Structure 1
């Protein structure tokens, strides 16, 4: 790891450790929720049952009353591999209930929730199990995820060690940044921690993963696998985020931002209620600022169809005095100038450059040190 990466780890209070091989054979359960992804299911299962050495694998497929051939494919896989078990819903329950039904059924020491359209990389489960077995304080481990469509790109498998954060330090960084740094298929959890904190919340269908990671960090340490790719996240026309949450649209941005804020609220009202109260205030300032940044962007670029009033209202709901903040004052100045159809708004260039640099640093740091 280069000096800049090491300095970044130190700034987040992470500890770099040398990876250690398994000294026993742990049982790792993989829950695969499936709704109309029959054409992806076999490849998904094969990714967790092949090339994962040194661990005892259990696979639980939960079919949520699919209308395609998903159940037939699942039953066929079960008949060919005794490690695979199928749970079938008699009626469609939705993704959160499907997740929880599968998670309740597992028997492994460690557990992964893997959508039927995603995959894990060769050796991913072994690498995650190595860290969890060696570090009992860690409740969640992740690495990098690869977004792809079409053929699978190559993945990195030559690990360079581990980073361990205390849960509070990892949570503090999330409060400062506000973003989710973990998609989902690259996460393996300790089942005992999952049992202690409970399953996914039905009232946060869009930010369920984010809230789960926050909740886990409130009660356990967090681990990251350096320099390896742990999962493939498939991009396609019927991704659930696109189908149900309008990902990539202004409406999708609003839902995402609001539910990320609600995730902080419920965590600090629940398992994180005994933590430093300043963390919630940090999250409050971060999320209110992000709401206004999107309004500022709309004004600067002349996006007249953008729902600016909704975003402003959300910012005020999160932080009552948000108009007195830097982002609030910047918006007031832009409003005086009005929206513009010009390629470059008079107040846009400096903030645009700073915003872009901040985003590049955040993406670089996420890939190199996971946070």
Structure 2
């Protein structure tokens, strides 16, 4: 990992932004405007409405009528988000590509900051930054970058796999066009962890960079995405994280991958998380059965490790952290992780 002093783009580049939309027409003008207002880069926008049954398609057409840089594709039948992502990213021709959900937004200057990093570091294929949450009006964010961070791809991949984490939010990502062409697609086998697999696959072939500032993008929190905090969503995400490790390590040429023990470390990390969620679920007064589901998942994942799961010491430590007595250190450790993630992206 290396830190660098930020700089301006060396030359003007074109960034293509794909905005998939399904029933998000009310949010779409904010997303599109946040792209068209970007400075020091040329932008083009492709909005793909996936057969929304509201006025989203007409909203998109109105935006295209107002600015020639906006193009619209409207599906006559719903194709699903993975197929829509791949369709859009394979159509655009910019030097760099971005996938931006219709309910999210970019921070002013974010594209130029990411492009500048990749122009000065030709081996970097993916740049990300912090995503700030918002609900109604997009907040103002400090546009200045404190620093850039770059990692050799395999080093970044090893760190992420060893903890089986995804510190990268899609709105904050800019990919080099050639890196997208190299990796090629979102994988429909992991529809809820396709972004995480894409970052891992990219890091197996390219270096990774990060713009360290207050925010590069804005992630909107609203009623239809709050499921990410529910137990069912957590279990589904861990199931797909386990599946993506299989895809990554079994289908990527070994020369691009970290040692096999990293996969084992990732699986143990998933087991520990499932064990802790089982304890938390057992305290949930709703009695939704989540604790037992997490226990079964933990046992299944341990079987992938030949029965050599988490050490008894770590099991006891995790159990204590999730107990009433471990409340303070649990909150402190989570806050520390959050601070590090927000500042450095790892």
1:355 maps onto 2:342 in alignment:
no
The residue aligned with 2:273 is 290
1:15 shift after superposition: 0.1
Q: Give the conservation status (yes or no) of the 8 Å contact 2:268–2:309.
A: no
Distance, in Å, in 2 between the alignment partners of 1:113 and 1:135 is 22
Deviation per CA, 1:152-182: give whole Å up to 9, x if none: 2221211112000111111122123222111
The residue aligned with 2:343 is 368
Distance, in Å, in 1 between the alignment partners of 2:159 and 2:335 is 17
1:278 shift after superposition: 1.6
TM-score (norm 1): 0.86
2:195 aligned to which of 193, 198, 209: 209
The residue aligned with 2:290 is 307
Q: Please provide the CA RMSD for this pair.
A: 2.3
Please give the secondary structure, in 2, of the residue aligned with 1:164. Answer: strand
Q: Give the conservation status (yes or no) of the 8 Å contact 1:96–1:200.
A: yes
The residue aligned with 1:76 is 62
Moved more, 182-191 or 288-297: 288-297
Q: 1:184 to 1:24 in 2, by over 3 A?
A: same
Please give the secondary structure, in 2, of the residue aligned with 1:233. Answer: strand
Distance, in Å, in 1 between the alignment partners of 2:43 and 2:3 is 28
The residue aligned with 2:300 is 317
1:48 shift after superposition: 0.4
Q: Give the conservation status (yes or no) of the 8 Å contact 1:175–1:280.
A: yes
Q: 1:27 to 1:323 in 2, by over 3 A?
A: closer
Please give the secondary structure, in 1, of the residue aligned with 2:170. Answer: coil
Please give the secondary structure, in 2, of the residue aligned with 1:96. Answer: helix
Unmatched segments (≥5 aa) in structure 2: none
The residue aligned with 1:261 is 242
Distance, in Å, in 2 between the alignment partners of 1:54 and 1:195 is 24
The residue aligned with 1:118 is 104
Distance, in Å, in 2 between the alignment partners of 1:70 and 1:210 is 28
Please give the secondary structure, in 2, of the residue aligned with 1:58. Answer: strand
Please give the secondary structure, in 2, of the residue aligned with 1:38. Answer: coil
1:296 shift after superposition: 2.5
1:347 shift after superposition: 8.2
What is the correspondence of 1:130-141 to structure 2 with a 5 Å cutoff?
130-141=116-127
Query: What is the aligned residue count?
Result: 341
Q: Give the conservation status (yes or no) of the 8 Å contact 2:162–2:263.
A: no
1:305 shift after superposition: 3.3
Distance, in Å, in 2 between the alignment partners of 1:329 and 1:26 is 51
1:178 aligned to which of 152, 164, 181: 164
Q: 1:327 to 1:37 in 2, by over 3 A?
A: farther
1:272 shift after superposition: 5.7
Distance, in Å, in 1 between the alignment partners of 2:313 and 2:231 is 19
What is the correspondence of 1:154-233 to structure 2 with a 5 Å cutoff?
154-233=140-219
Q: 1:329 to 1:224 in 2, by over 3 A?
A: closer
Q: 1:37 to 1:258 in 2, by over 3 A?
A: same
1:348 shift after superposition: 1.7
1:33 aligned to which of 20, 35, 40: 20
Q: Give the conservation status (yes or no) of the 8 Å contact 2:274–2:298.
A: yes
Q: Give the conservation status (yes or no) of the 8 Å contact 2:148–2:211.
A: yes
1:221 shift after superposition: 0.8
The residue aligned with 1:10 is none
Distance, in Å, in 1 between the alignment partners of 2:95 and 2:301 is 39
What is the correspondence of 1:91-110 to structure 2 with a 5 Å cutoff?
91-110=77-96
Unmatched segments (≥5 aa) in structure 1: 1-13, 335-344
The residue aligned with 2:34 is 47
Q: Give the conservation status (yes or no) of the 8 Å contact 2:272–2:315.
A: no
1:21 maps onto 2:2 in alignment:
no
TM-score (norm 2): 0.92
